[in-house]
Structure 1
Amino acid sequence: MIITCKKKVPFHWIAFAILPWAAFSFKGGVIGTGFIFSLKKFVENPAGLTFILSLPSFIALVLQPVVSFLSDRIWTRFGRRKPFVGTSFFGVTTAMVLMPLMPNFWTLLAVYMVYSVFADLNSPMEPLKQEIIPPAERGRATAAMSWVSNLATMTFWFVALGRFDDVHYMGSLALQGETVIYWSGALLMLTMGLLITLGIREVDQKSPLRGQRLTVRTFFGGLLDRELWPVYMLIVGAACMNFYAGLGALSNLLYTDQWAYTKQEMGINVAAGGIINIFAIAVLAIFADRFNRMRAYQTLICLSLLGQIFYYCYIEFILPDKHPTLVEIIVFGETLSILGILTGMVYTPLVYDYVRRNKMGTYNAGAQMVTRLTVLLTLNGVGLFVWGYATFFQPPAGEMTRIVLRGGDQNNETEVLNLLKKSEWSAPQGGASIVSLSDLTANAWQANGTFSDVGRGWEIRLRNKDSAKLAAEKEKLEKQRLPLVSEEKMLLDKAASLALTGNAADAEKATREAAAVKARRVPIAEQIKAIEGELDTRAQVFHSQVQRALGERLMTEGEQITGARMQTAMVFELPVVDRPDVKLLEQSLAELRRERPEVIDLRPVKLNEGYTVAVSVLVAPGREDAALVADLQPVVERLILQRQTKLVVQGQAPRNVVRQQALTMELIVLEEPLETYVSPITRVVNLGLALFDRVPAPDRRLTAVARNLRISSDTNHVRVQAGPAPKTIVVTAVMPAEAGAMAATDDAVSRRLGELLVEPSRQEWLPWAKGFHDRIEVAAATQKITIAHPVLTTGYAVMKYDYMSGYLWMFVMSLIGIAITIAFSRLEARGLVRKYGLEEAQAS
């Protein structure tokens, strides 16, 4: 049994006192991150999201301070703080069990508010912890608390978050990853609630405040105690810097919506930093109680702000696509995380140095009020700032078309906008003409996100509030339809299961219930389809006006193929003694192509017994097969043996030497196919990586495209490389032995290929070549390489949000917080603020 208010305590008491913070961290991940994705099913606008997330602050603004205030002034046989803490844990557990079961926005919001009420009852938990841990141990205890919190956070991000969208079926029961995550958090909170209720005994401090009635006068009189109000300055400063570790809730949307990382990738990123933190915290804990806390705190918050400013500038002004890699996110995140851990180690003990034990609850009440008021400003402020920034500087919601212009990178934004504004425009939904040409925007577009004001591809948008209203209506209907789809499927699965067990009556009943649900679903689906049709029609009307405005500047279909030819290729196989390592074989292939540019590919071949390596090469006119094999075989064997030393027995006779046709196609793309830009952090990481592995090659995306194009029964030998002209690629593939029975198509791409492959003997290959062209387009898109077309896409587009803009708001608030902290330290230097808590502990 742990007893409070001891001058010295064993370490396992400290460990027990900080253990609940592991549950808080996992629960914080569930509510702080998981709930965002649950809520985003119903709300898209970032200002709306942040407003809903701030609603608990209005309750907490009253409830948390009252609970903390009362915890200094009551006494029960269970203690003065435990009754509130125990009730909180069990209430939060119940709410977290219910959250993933809520079918719509209003029920989810109601349970979220109930959760928030019970969570606010937990406010005396911090004073309870401080009463268990003496002041001399609080720095190390904070470090240990950071360690267990980090472990729980790492578990959530690495193990749990990536499973959020998973669905597993147990018979007719669908078990969702979202539900499992919420219930896991509930189980942890229940366990911690039992441990606190049964494992801690509070000592009666005979507080002179006991029995004081809760009135407006006593409440605010206690909060404005002359010893406490100066400390609130520190709290305001810390609350202003609430985002020193990121953008709060919007950080999740920055990762998933703007940077297009999956929840699992986001979890791996946080978990990777967490693994480092496990060791970092252990080292930092050694120094936790050795700093001048105020000086260290001021230094750390300034370093944190500078780190965030550098991170913002690095992304916005150094990375061409403003999209950091996971490695870059981890490097910056871990640096800022260590600063955050150090700040927490210093800050928590620092504020309690100024507060007596019997005023900890009262101080906590005032601190919570001040924090909540400040966070209301910062949280809602960042959401409104991001929304306002998007309104003024980001592409608007409305009709959108992506097109490709002739002239390559000679097209610039000003020229394109001038061409558009010279034309006459009318509203896509009919009616009056567009009044303001400022509703038109044109931005250079590339699939990899590279920002530029020049380029081939352009995204042209029209701000249309009427279409935005239609899209919002569609979204609302979709949220009504999806639960009905799930309910109908579960009922049909239930009916099928009952039918298999011979329970025909219940199966019939379930089928009727499913039919009733379908009757409700179908009209909603028809309304959605009608809205989609109207939005598509408007988009096509808008595109036709864009097409008229740009005229001959638009490229035509087929122009993307700048060259196509058929050549003779030879394929031969070299016997090997074991299964080739494909990764090492690709490295050998890269070197082989540098030495012998005519080589197409190097592929492992599985035989009935054993393996061979097939080599494909373009054959120059008049070259004999035997001479070419004799010339090329030693080079291939040498390069393979450099990485797989026992794979090849040199000089063995090659097998299956055959000649086949190869097709080479040169295509225009919108993006730079080679990764020519290497960011500063990536350069540093590559220096370390080079000691253990091959540094990623500039043509790695083209290698991946070739990998996606290989089909063993059709095109097993493929080479993709950057073309001679800027932003072009050249694809060479060994063609199958026969063209196959493929129907010819009369389209622009087929006609263009027919112009380039003019020999009569090659006309039969046109359907195959057209199909291969389409496969190239799909394979290239997986690597964010876009084959040019006059029209890439047309439709309704939502407003784009730049969540990174929220950092600008954060910087301003952080500067205010730092100024307040400096002002506090000057008051202390003048003797207007004293460390009453530390003096009390030293005197006892």
Structure 2
Amino acid sequence: MDATASQKPRQGFAGLWNISFGFFGIQIGFALQNANMSRVFQTLGSSIDDLPALWVAAPLTGLIVQPIIGHMSDRTWNRLGRRRPYFLTGAIFAALSLFLMPLSPAFGAPLLFAAAMLWMLDASLNVSMEPFRAFVGDMLRTDQHSAGYAVQTAFIGAGAVVGSIFPWFLQQLGVSNVAADGGLPDTVKWSFWGGAIALFAAVLWTIVTTREYSPEQMASFGGHTLEETGQPVRALAAKTYLSSSLWIAAGLGVIVLVQSLELQKEMLLLGALLGVYGLLSAIAISMAKQGKSTNMLSSIVGDFAGMPEVMKRLALVQFFSWSALFIMWINTTPVVTQYVFGSTDTASAAYNEGANWVNVLFTVYNGVAAVSALALLPILSRKVGQVMTHSICLTLGALGFLMFFFVRDAQSLLLAEIGIGIAWASILAMPYAILASNLPQAKLGIYMGLFNIFIVVPQLLVATVMGQIMLWLFPGEPIWTMLFAAGSWIVAALAMQRVKAAIPQENAHA
């Protein structure tokens, strides 16, 4: 960084609050989705084996949307600013999706309509969410990154608490929690409608109360310009087509295996994604060789191929961290209703009581995350560093998943959620604080978007491969997924120890 560069103004608590308050609303949307979509799909007629395929919308939309939005937001500047236009657009469509989702049973193909609304909801949430990650880095000086992402994590936890507790809270107020076979209970309907209003209002708050730094101001703070960070595209022009060919071959190989071994058809998506990436990378290399260095595709592929070392090492941690989270979001409702409340009948009172208890469990882990982000993570990271803090938190979360595997008492599972909540807080804060302090500021949007690949790829693998594994080894026994989740977080905790060598000493502590 230029030694003569000026410093960004230090933000007080009100500034930190306003910068991240919109994430409170976004997370209400994610929480309603995570805690209720398996319930919605099962109620509309989906079998338990079909749930991963229906949930594939969430990671797939993130995989496509976030790098594109990151690339675009780095290059946007209009009356609303750099990131805020995307906050607003995503919030509008996410609120619309939440409003329409409970109306699914009224359509001729209710399960198909619900799946379509999930795609629209998740894509819209990603449009809003990705720029929020970069927004913290844009608005805060380096020594406030940990505090900024901690406040954002607290809002994520608080928003998830509100979103998760909606159905249970409405039931306590006397709203009906059961419906005729194939219909959604009023608790679910009103939760989605209330969530739509809250999401839009929270994002609008951040838009109204914040003012982004202009490109000229960002340059004065010592950030690299986009022209100065064009090396990845130039490096792309020097590459051969070998890696692209290997990706395409891998994709075709998966498709052939699915057909020859009669594997689940959802795995065709995995093969298609591998092949498509290989094709797109070949096109990007060709365009770079022709000197077309300013196109979006070459920029995204070039930045992906030329990721900084710290990002590469964190990628492995993210892969295993989010594998476990997606397993949890898909399978907690089937596990709790089947093993703790003893019912798989979606029209029964026992099933719906168990499904509401899942909302309570999700509320607890998100509440713990909100508190941990402000009270535990800053203290722990000052004492042992960001790397060790993240490893410790992931290990505590793994112990929580092990409790789901062994415990059959609903109340005791609240203890499991404490460990999971601490890990969730760290997953949302530590990797992003490390990245924001060690990446070029001018390309923070695209790098945050690309980092999301290592969140969504494991989710796609869970949605495609996990279903086949469970069908082979443990048909009709979703409890075993919790053991997979525990193992994933243990691996992530160990992989985190490789990150420290890639972080400059001055940024190693919060």
Q: Above 0.5 in TM-score? A: yes
| TM-score normalized with structure 1 length | 0.44
Per-residue deviation, 1:334: 1.7
Deviation readout 1:740-763 (Å, 9 max, x if unpaired): xxxxxxxxxxxxxxxxxxxxxxxx
Deviation readout 1:774-800 (Å, 9 max, x if unpaired): xxxxxxxxxxxxxxxxxxxxxxxxxxx
Matches for 1:83-232 after TM superposition, within 5 Å: 83-102=85-104, 103=107, 104-122=110-128, 123-161=130-168, 163=170, 166=176, 176-203=186-213, 204=215, 205-206=218-219, 208-209=225-226, 213-225=294-306, 228=308, 230-232=310-312
Q: Which amino acid aligns with 1:47?
A: D
Q: Which amino acid aligns with 2:485?
A: M
% identical aligned pairs: 12
Per-residue deviation, 1:185: 1.0
Per-residue deviation, 1:25: 2.5
Partner of 1:424: none
- CA contact under 8 A between 1:240 and 1:375: conserved in structure 2? no
Question: Could you tell me which of 466, 476, 488 is aligned with 1:813?
Answer: 488
Aligned length: 408
Partner of 2:290: none
Larger Rg: 1
Secondary structure, counterpart of 2:63 in structure 1: helix
2:367 and 2:118 map into 1 onto residues whose CA distance is: 31
Structure (1/2) with the larger helix percentage: 2
Structure (1/2) with the larger strand percentage: 1
- CA contact under 8 A between 2:101 and 2:192: conserved in structure 1? yes
1:42 and 1:366 map into 2 onto residues whose CA distance is: 35
1:339 and 1:57 map into 2 onto residues whose CA distance is: 20
Deviation readout 1:203-226 (Å, 9 max, x if unpaired): 123563279733432221123335
1:98 and 1:128 map into 2 onto residues whose CA distance is: 29
1:251 aligns with 2:332: yes
Secondary structure, counterpart of 2:452 in structure 1: helix
1:240 and 1:390 map into 2 onto residues whose CA distance is: 21
Partner of 1:587: none
Cα distance change of structure 1 residues 803 and 811 upon mapping to structure 2, 3 Å threshold: same
- CA contact under 8 A between 1:385 and 1:806: conserved in structure 2? no
Per-residue deviation, 1:805: 0.4
Question: Could you tell me which of 281, 292, 295 is aligned with 2:385?
Answer: 292
2:38 and 2:422 map into 1 onto residues whose CA distance is: 26
- CA contact under 8 A between 1:161 and 1:267: conserved in structure 2? yes
Per-residue deviation, 1:251: 0.9
1:26 aligns with 2:28: yes
Secondary structure, counterpart of 1:71 in structure 2: helix
Question: Could you tell me which of 326, 329, 332 is aligned with 2:416?
Answer: 332
Cα distance change of structure 1 residues 52 and 257 upon mapping to structure 2, 3 Å threshold: same
Partner of 1:370: 454
Partner of 1:383: 467
Matches for 1:3-82 after TM superposition, within 5 Å: 6-82=8-84
Deviation readout 1:117-154 (Å, 9 max, x if unpaired): 32232221210122223332333333333433333333
Q: Which amino acid aligns with 2:409?
A: P
Q: Which amino acid aligns with 1:294?
A: V
Deviation readout 1:539-573 (Å, 9 max, x if unpaired): xxxxxxxxxxxxxxxxxxxxxxxxxxxxxxxxxxx
2:40 and 2:85 map into 1 onto residues whose CA distance is: 31
| TM-score normalized with structure 2 length | 0.70
2:376 and 2:499 map into 1 onto residues whose CA distance is: 26
1:157 and 1:185 map into 2 onto residues whose CA distance is: 10
Q: Which amino acid aligns with 1:809?
A: F
Cα distance change of structure 1 residues 819 and 342 upon mapping to structure 2, 3 Å threshold: closer
Q: Which amino acid aligns with 2:148?
A: A
- CA contact under 8 A between 2:335 and 2:479: conserved in structure 1? yes
- Give the unaligned 5+ runs of structure 1: 316-322, 392-800
Deviation readout 1:783-832 (Å, 9 max, x if unpaired): xxxxxxxxxxxxxxxxxx2221002332443454345434444xx2xxxx
1:137 and 1:249 map into 2 onto residues whose CA distance is: 35
Partner of 2:286: none
Matches for 1:659-698 after TM superposition, within 5 Å: none
Partner of 1:729: none
Secondary structure, counterpart of 2:66 in structure 1: helix
Q: Which amino acid aligns with 2:439?
A: V
Q: Which amino acid aligns with 2:337?
A: T
Q: Which amino acid aligns with 1:126?
A: R
2:393 and 2:369 map into 1 onto residues whose CA distance is: 17
- CA contact under 8 A between 2:90 and 2:125: conserved in structure 1? yes
Partner of 1:419: none
1:269 and 1:230 map into 2 onto residues whose CA distance is: 34
Partner of 2:321: 241
- CA contact under 8 A between 1:355 and 1:837: conserved in structure 2? no
Secondary structure, counterpart of 1:77 in structure 2: coil
Secondary structure, counterpart of 1:19 in structure 2: helix
CA RMSD in angstroms, aligned pairs only = 3.4
Cα distance change of structure 1 residues 325 and 183 upon mapping to structure 2, 3 Å threshold: closer
1:366 and 1:180 map into 2 onto residues whose CA distance is: 35
Cα distance change of structure 1 residues 350 and 76 upon mapping to structure 2, 3 Å threshold: same
1:186 and 1:312 map into 2 onto residues whose CA distance is: 31
Deviation readout 1:498-536 (Å, 9 max, x if unpaired): xxxxxxxxxxxxxxxxxxxxxxxxxxxxxxxxxxxxxxx
- CA contact under 8 A between 2:73 and 2:83: conserved in structure 1? yes
Q: Which amino acid aligns with 2:138?
A: E
- Give the unaligned 5+ runs of structure 2: 1-6, 231-292, 342-352
2:417 and 2:438 map into 1 onto residues whose CA distance is: 32
Per-residue deviation, 1:19: 1.4
Per-residue deviation, 1:53: 0.8
